[in-house]
Amino acid sequence: MLRVYLRRGWPFIMGVFLLFMLAGLFSAINDRKIAGRTIWFPSSWLSSSWNTGTEHPITTLMKDAKVAFTNRLAKQSKTLPEAVAEYKRRYGRDPPRGFDHWWEFAKERDFMLVDEFDAIDEDLAPFWTLSGEELRRRTYLLGHLPSITLVRIQDGNVSEVPIKQAYVDKERGHRSRGFRELLEKFIEKLPNMDLAINSKAESRVLVPWEHLQFPSLTLRDPSDGAKMLDDFTPTWRDNRGVWEAYRRTCPPGSPARQLYSSYRDPTVRKMNALVGNPRSSGDLSAFVESVDDDYDFCANPWAHYTQGHFFSDWQTIPVLSPLFSPSKAKGFADIRIPSHYYLGSSARYTYGYDLVTRGVKEIDDMEVPWDQKRDLIFWRGATTGGGSTPPGFTPTYQRHRYCSSLNLSLDSLSYTSLRFLRMAHESTTNNVTIVHASPSRPNTFISTTVPARDLNNDIMDVAFVSAVGEYPGGEEALRKAHRFTRSVPLGEHWSYKYLLDLDGMSYSARFMALLASDSAVLKSTVYKEYFSDWIQPWLHYIPLSSSYPEIYNIHAYFSGPSASTMAVANMTVEKTAKWETVQKERDTQLRQIARAGKQWKHTLGRTVDMEVYVYRLCLEYARLWADDRDAMRLVL
């Protein structure tokens, strides 16, 4: 009987085995997609040397970026009828009522990108499936939830709706106050409506995929709709978390919806790529589309271990709800508004802030001439990066990964059994293969393998200044695994040519200040903000992928081989006119990025530009708020 049972059960066992084999196969296929859309390179670029008759990928990226942004500026509408026609072409409907007044407001303030508001259309698109009455009901429900402020526009005035909440957030009021400031110049032009402002930095609305495809499901789902208030708590419980909620936003059949793929041990994947494995940095295929704010976590669920927002302590909202937030990661349904940090003047977040007058100067007192800036990549910050739900994953968050890949020591690994940290340690003790100009033949690029620690010491000045939140093994283990140093004033950043900008608990609030400086900004983010469609990577800033491997080649391109690189290759810099000319050209390119970023801040990152955005957003939202949406359109 036992033999008969085994014989009959054998096909089932083989089926399970094949299922797991296929899962591993598809996992390996997905591994190759970590970098996103690959830019093709001739095979000669991956050899030990090549002549610059074929352009370096950075040169190509910079040229393409300049052309793309210049063309975008040139195509903008010049008159109101042109703007209305472009609106209809893009969105297939008439603009909202009041669009003509908004146009005058924008033109009077020399706003440059009058047609570029796809972000608003993207954010509001799901709410067209709701009636005005239902939208108002869900807004009212939001006002009763923790860490949300209800702002009311009525008869040309703006105020906060006093709603008593059981949970009082220490951040309550800051973001809603900033939003109300942006309304002051045009408040009398706006129809009556209420807007729910997120008091947290994190995006919070995660709507199950089925509910977006079939909106009526929300009303029938006993865990949502009217039950939302009864079941909602400020923090997670029952061992749930953001990732569990996020998985439900993914399409059925995607890897994130498959429990095995979604929760498997992250070390099954190529974790070296996630902790910034420098061994791959010499491969110029590292220069790919490195803006990660459109990264698909549904297709690559294992990557969620590397982003702190998936471990936030604050419970997300599972209903399609019109919540206005300063940023959003892909998959979240929040509506973007400008951050209050970009409005108020402060010593921590404002370039040129004067401590005496509390005003803002055009040039910061600590600004340094370009030729006196140090050729280092500089970053200082706190250990913010995510929450602790579930606990134990702090070492994989974006800031921790970057700092630990530079500063890990073998002794610091004894506090944890997480294997990917050991892999991070391996990456820091191995070598970095980088591509750089040859001193003897400056128009030719060669590859050199350098000890990672030596190269990091040459080109990096990165450290934490304060410890915030939990860490496996406590603060002592945290300080063993990462470099800590004194806190510095914001102005000290201006002494460096390269300023690194990394996500924290959410978006980085220092980005605008860094752009306003005379230094070049390297930015890594998975968040979209209100200006994401207005700024051009490789023109206004240098984009970094979330795994950071290309940073070594970026520095080598603009600044030339470091001292360690020269020593390993047994090279000496020949001060020939040709060498100095090439190095000056590359340095000039880097300075062009710094200047373009500063120019962008002064022309598209102004407070008036934020006002133009919010004005347009409010008109679009007012149409959704109304019962008769057809009456809320502009017809010339």
DSSP 303-360: GGGG-GGGG-SBPPB-S---EEES-EETT---EE---GGGTS--TTT-TTB-TTT--B
Could you tell me how far CA 34 lies from the centroid of its own chain?
Answer: 16
Q: Which two tokens stand for residue 70?
A: 């210049």
> What strands, in cross-sheet order, belong to the sheet with 460-466?
460-466, 374-382, 496-502, 520-524, 542-543
pLDDT, position 471: 92
Q: Which two tokens stand for residue 236?
A: 């997670």
Average pLDDT over residues 43-50: 41
Q: How many CB atoms lie within 10 A of CB 386?
A: 27
Q: Which two tokens stand for residue 362?
A: 């055009």
d(CA 136, CA 29): 45
Contact 624, 136 (CB under 8 A): no
pLDDT, position 519: 98
Give Cβ neighbours of residue 416 (< 8 Å, ≥ 6 apart). 392, 395, 472, 473, 477
Share above pLDDT 90 across residues of the chain, in percent, rounded to a whole number = 62
Give Cβ neighbours of residue 159 (< 8 Å, ≥ 6 apart). 151, 152
Strand-pair category, 460-466 with 374-382? parallel
d(CA 570, CA 572): 7
DSSP assignment of 97-120 equals TTHHHHHHHHHHTT-S-TT--HHH
d(CA 1, CA 4): 5
pLDDT, position 406: 77
Specify the DSSP class assigned to residue 633.
B
Nearest to 239 by CA among 220, 268, 263: 263
Nearest to 420 by CA among 306, 548, 502, 503: 306
Contact 320, 277 (CB under 8 A): no
Residue 517 — pLDDT band, cuts 50, 70, 90?
very high
The yes-or-no verdict on residue 38 having pLDDT over 80 is no
Strand-pair category, 520-524 with 496-502? parallel
The yes-or-no verdict on residue 204 having pLDDT over 80 is yes
d(CA 211, CA 207): 7
pLDDT, position 575: 62
507-516 confidence digits (pLDDT tens): 999 999 999 9
pLDDT, position 284: 52
Residue found by looking up tokens 């005005």 in the block: 132
Any idea which of 4-8, 332-336, 591-595 has the lowest mean pLDDT? 4-8
User: Across all residues in the chain, what is the average pLDDT?
Assistant: 83
Domains and CATH numbers, the chain: 349-613 (3.40.50)
Contact 321, 283 (CB under 8 A): no
The yes-or-no verdict on residue 125 having pLDDT over 90 is yes
Residue 169 — pLDDT band, cuts 50, 70, 90?
confident
d(CA 591, CA 542): 12
Give Cβ neighbours of residue 441 (< 8 Å, ≥ 6 apart). none
The angle formed by the CA atoms of residues 323, 326 and 329, to the nearest 5 degrees, is 85
d(CA 311, CA 91): 36
Can you name the residues that pair with 496 across neighbouring β-strands?
Answer: 374
d(CA 559, CA 436): 9
The yes-or-no verdict on residue 632 having pLDDT over 90 is yes
pLDDT, position 584: 93
d(CA 530, CA 326): 8
107-111 contacts at long range (C-beta below 8 A, 24 or more positions apart): 109/608, 109/609, 109/611, 109/612, 111/608, 111/609, 111/612
The yes-or-no verdict on residue 19 having pLDDT over 70 is no
454-496 confidence digits (pLDDT tens): 899 999 999 999 998 899 999 999 998 899 999 999 999 999 9
Q: Length of the chain in residues, anyone? A: 636
pLDDT, position 40: 28
Q: How many CB atoms lie within 10 A of CB 43?
A: 7
Question: What is the identity of the amino acid at 419?
Answer: R
368-418 confidence digits (pLDDT tens): 999 999 999 999 999 998 899 999 999 999 999 999 877 643 333 333 333
Share above pLDDT 70 across residues of the chain, in percent, rounded to a whole number = 79
The yes-or-no verdict on residue 34 having pLDDT over 80 is no
Give Cβ neighbours of residue 485 (< 8 Å, ≥ 6 apart). 380, 463, 464, 465
d(CA 338, CA 429): 42
Of the two residues 2 and 249, the one the predictor is more confident about is 249
Angle between helices 577-603 and 551-559 (to 10 degrees): 120
Nearest to 451 by CA among 497, 396, 406, 412: 406
The yes-or-no verdict on residue 304 having pLDDT over 70 is yes
Question: What is the identity of the amino acid at 569?
Answer: A
Of the two residues 50 and 233, the one the predictor is more confident about is 233
